[in-house]
Amino acid sequence: MRKLGLKTLCLFVFCAMFGYLSAQHNTENRIEEILSRMTLRQKIGQMNQVNARKPDEKLYKQIRNGEVGSILNAEDPVLLNQLQKIAVEESSLGIPVVFARDVIHGFKTIFPIPLGQAASFNPEIVETGARIAAVEASENGVRWTFAPMMDISRDPRWGRIAESFGEDTYLSEEMAIAMVRGFQGEDLSQPSSIAACAKHFIGYGAVEGGRDYNISNIPERQLRNIYLPPFERSIKETGCATIMTSFNANDGVPPSASKFLLTDLLRDEWKFDGVVVSDWASVSIMVTQGFCDDRKNAALKAANAGMEMEMVSGCYTDYLEQLVKEGKVSEKTIDNAVRNILRLKYRLGLFEKPYTDLTSERKVYSEAHLRAAKQAAEESFVLLKNQNNILPLGNKVKNVAIIGPLADAPHDQMGTWCFDGEKEHTQTPLNALKKQFGENVNFIYEQTLAFSRDRDKSRFAQAIEAAKQSDVVLLFVGEESILSGEAHSLADLDLVGVQSELLEELSKAGKPIITIVMAGRPLTIAKEMAQSSAVLYAWHPGTMGGPAIADVLFGKSYPSGKLPVTFPRYVGQIPLYYNYERIGRPAKKNEVLLNDIPLEAKQSSLGNTSYYLDAGFDALFDFGYGLSYTTFEYSDLVLSKYTLTKDETLQVSVILKNTGSHEGCEVVQLYTADVAASASPLVKELKGFKRIILKPGEQKKVIFELPIEKLAFWNTQMEKVVEPGKFEIMIGGNSVDLLKSSFVVN
């Protein structure tokens, strides 16, 4: 009896002390309870994210003292569990830490770079990829990833375009939402779910000149129309758990110190209740940016704007306590931040299950994961040229030369932001071609260049010899992975090194050349297009890139990707994107180009339109472009109504027919254009897309539902409105060759 009494008493004391640990309590009550027990120092500790590639005594002590809310970059799940044990069992409040890592396009099983995934126009495969990444990362203790990056990027010089979903807002929205869903799963508290992070908030993809870390100058109307929608929808539709502020000052203000962005927009307007994390030291760099005179001021401005967890730069740890004592930052501000951080930890189920289960069967590189990665790679490939239907090769060839620095580059084909992918597990085109088709085909391999930047031409002769002995040449060129990604901007987008010269020399052998480009961004390849019989743009396709390329080249599967970004002919055309705002003097077809200008021509004789005398206006490839092994015909564009009110939904249908002799998958694209609006309308905007698979001769009615409210835009008064008037509607297989109709909104 006495024993029971003691037990009950102990239980009572435990519940009183650690009630917030029990799942029975409502999360908000648990948060308030724990908050009420925290010292100011402990609260500030939750707002501190530390980098711990090599954890040391200092870190153990910080965790023990409750001075760390999150740890990034620590590896090895055993170690992570040890660190967690210190937080849970040795710190006075037992608040678990959340382990974070950049899991961008796969953890161990690497999927194509996000730009490649966007080319699939297939949100399902993007969601699957993120789910697989979450499963693999979480079994290694990672419960928070800094992805998806949803920066709209119209500048291929910017190395991080590789991590983006390209230039289009709607496509980025759909892909971002799919990725968040995949990472977070059905329920964030499941051990295999990881918190997603919408980044970089905001405008980082629009840095001046494509130079990383530079400034951007996006006015609010454009922010709302072009750059913010993927963030807003990720938060509202998928409950994206966290958001990251970007490095770039936009219109003079670094986002980490923008009350407009972090409080007015994010909290008041969008009702976001997750966590705002800074980018790597994006608080302390405000000193270098000249926005704050010292780190203390940086802490002050960031905290008061609503920036909650500081990644690595430690300004909060060093100064927030003092700032609160001086009355410059209110404790209420700190409490709000800590509430959101604790909420994230509750949502992740960390209070209940802080440790990673190291006993269950590991799923990294499982067959299912590799299969999905292969499918994603296949769907990401964009066929840019296919003269005389040279592809697929099928059984048309006996001797095939495999040439070039990227045919067997297991590291480089994984692409940028690949901390955990292992090249030992990468399947390259060389190996896959031999393995999958080597029985019937004699492959002759000549690497010729050791890597993409290699300038050594001493093996050109062997390459030409290999070409001469073959029916066809498979030339693998592009970029090493290190040439794209963060801090890897380029001013010149031609193929690096002497890859172009190699193609030129090979073309003299008189054999058809199929050029496969593996790159992290659009490259200026007009010349290479002309010298190749076929060109397949394979991006950096990840672990299973090789088998995917082999199957596509030989026709066991087919390419179906479409460009998520415009390919310029010349760097000087950048920014070049399909959905520009209407201008008064648009370029026409057949403008006069440099060499056609008569001598002493009069100033006005060339036609006064918006184009370059040397480059014209056209892109090398337009947004949405991509060929198939078959051909598709569009007909019978029909609208359910031609006059609608704002609350109605328009139904649009088109007949799509496979007119070729192969099965194929077409990405049917729906565009609209506001004919006149109170602020410059865009020439066209993507509003829908569907992947349709058809057998030869088969046809299908493809139907889109377009709620008229989707035509709304932000006007100059910052109101989201559908303005009555005429709208054009267009459907086709790219952003240029389109069937057109129109309707009126009253």
Q: In angstroms, what is the minimal distance from the CB of 121 to ligand BGC?
A: 24
CA separation for the pair 581, 681 (Å, rounded)? 6
Cβ proximity to ligand BGC, 312 vs 329, nearer residue = 312
**Residues from 397 through 456 that contact ligand BGC (CB under 6 A):** none
422 or 486: CB nearest ligand BGC: 486
Order across the sheet with 442-446: list the strands. Answer: 382-386, 534-537, 513-518, 472-478, 399-403, 442-446
Backbone angles phi, psi at 115, to 5 degrees: -60, -40
Residue the block writes with tokens 């509750």: 346
Asked whether the CA dihedral 297, 300, 303, 306 is positive or negative, the reply is negative
Residue number, 118 or 377, with CB nearest to ligand BGC: 118
Give φ, ψ of 518 to 5 degrees: -110, 115
Beta bridge partners of 744: 643, 726
For the bound state, the minimum distance from the C-beta of residue 183 to ligand BGC, rounded and expressed in Å, comes to 14
Beta carbon of residue 169, minimum distance to ligand BGC (angstroms, whole number):
20
Question: Which residues 6+ apart lie within 8 Å of 385 measured at CB?
Answer: 529, 532, 533, 534, 535, 627
Contact 33, 60 (CB under 8 A): no
Among the options 102, 155, 279, 412, which is catalytic? 279
Site for ligand BGC in 239-298 (CB under 6 A): 279-280
Number of residues that bind ligand BGC (CB under 6 A): 6
Characterise 352 by phi-psi region: left (phi > 0), alpha (psi -120 to 50), beta (else).
alpha
* Contacts (CB under 6 A) with ligand BGC, residues 474-533: 486
Burial (0-12, 13-18, 19+ Cβ within 10 Å), 252:
exposed
Q: How far is the CB of 84 from ligand BGC (least distance, A)?
A: 20
- Cβ-based nearer residue to ligand BGC, 146 or 554: 146
264 is catalytic: no
Nearer to ligand BGC, 244 or 498 (CB): 244
Q: Is the dihedral of CA 166, 170, 172, 174 positive or negative?
A: negative
Written in H, E and C, the secondary structure of 41-96 is HHHHHHCEEEECCCCCHHHHHHHHCCCCCEEECCCCHHHHHHHHHHHHHHCCCCCC
**205 or 626: CB nearest ligand BGC:** 205
Helix, strand, or coil (residue 403):
strand
Residues 310-329 that bind ligand BGC (CB under 6 A): none
Please, what is the minimum distance in Å from the beta carbon of residue 164 to ligand BGC? Answer: 11
Q: How far is the CB of 148 from ligand BGC (least distance, A)?
A: 11
Position with the least CB separation from ligand BGC: 146
E strands, 404-441, are: none
199 vs 345, beta carbon nearer ligand BGC: 199
C-alpha distance from residue 265 to each of 20, 230, 269, 270, 578 (Å): 31, 14, 5, 6, 28
For residue 146, state whether it binds ligand BGC (rule: CB under 6 A): yes
Task: State the binding string over 99-128 for ligand BGC (x if CB under 6 A, else -).
Answer: ---x--------------------------
| Token pair listed for 213 | 């870390």
Residues making up the chain, counted from first to last: 746
DSSP letters of 500-553?
HHHHHHHHTT-S-EEEEEE-SS----HHHHHH-SEEEE--S--TTHHHHHHHHH
CB of 281 to ligand BGC, least distance (A): 8
Name the strand (E) or helix (H) holding 301.
helix 295-305
**420 contacts: CB under 8 Å, gap ≥ 6:** 101, 103, 107, 108, 137, 140
**Sheet with 242-245, side-by-side order of all strands:** 197-201, 242-245, 275-277
CA 575, 576, 580, 586 torsion-angle sign: positive
Q: Which is nearer to ligand BGC, 146 or 611 (CB)?
A: 146
Span 560-589, contacts to ligand BGC by CB under 6 A: none
Give the per-residue contact string, 5-24, with ligand BGC (x = CB under 6 A; - = no): --------------------
- Residue 126 C-beta: closest distance to ligand BGC, Å: 18
Nearer to ligand BGC, 243 or 706 (CB): 243
Q: List the structure tokens of 702.
A: 């493809």
Q: How far is the CB of 199 from ligand BGC (least distance, A)?
A: 6
3-state secondary structure of 630: coil
Whose structure tokens read 């999958």?
Answer: 436
**Under rule CB under 6 A, which residues in 700-729 are in contact with ligand BGC?**
none
Shortest separation between residue 72's beta carbon and ligand BGC, angstroms: 6
Tell me the one-letter amino acid at 228. L
Q: Is the dihedral of CA 168, 170, 174, 179 positive or negative?
A: positive
What track of x and - describes contact with ligand BGC for positions 194 through 213 (by CB under 6 A)? Answer: -----x--------------
Query: CB of 312: closest distance to ligand BGC in angstroms?
Result: 8
Could you tell me what percentage of the chain is helix, strand and coil, using 3-state DSSP and rounding each to the nearest 5?
A: 35, 20, 45
User: Which of residues 210 and 568 has its CB atom nearest to ligand BGC in the complex?
Assistant: 210
Of the pair 99, 671, the CB lying nearest ligand BGC is at 99
Distance CA 184, CA 698 (A): 38
> Closer to ligand BGC at the Cβ: 146 or 625?
146
Nearest distance in Å: CB 417, ligand BGC:
8
Q: Which residues are catalytic?
A: 279
Using CB under 6 A as the criterion, which residues of the chain lie in contact with ligand BGC when the complex forms? 102, 146, 199, 279-280, 486
